[in-house]
């Protein structure tokens, strides 16, 4: 983390968004079940 180079930021941003969404989804599923 901490790599804010413009050339790499787009890919890292998408990667972290997807990771956060997966974690959030697992939390929601865990609480729902």
Rounded to whole angstroms, the Cα distance separating 3 from 25 reads: 26
Task: Return the pLDDT at 26.
Answer: 93
1-33 residue pLDDT tens? 455 555 556 667 788 888 999 999 999 999 877
Structure tokens at 9: 């930021």
Cβ–Cβ under 8 Å, residues 13 and 1: no
- CB neighbours of residue 24 within 10 Å: 10
Task: Return the pLDDT at 1.
Answer: 47
């Amino acid at each position: 983390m901490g790599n804010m180079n413009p050339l790499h930021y787009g890919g890292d941003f998408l990667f972290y968004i997807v990771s956060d969404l997966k974690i959030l989804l697992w939390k929601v599923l865990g609480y729902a079940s």
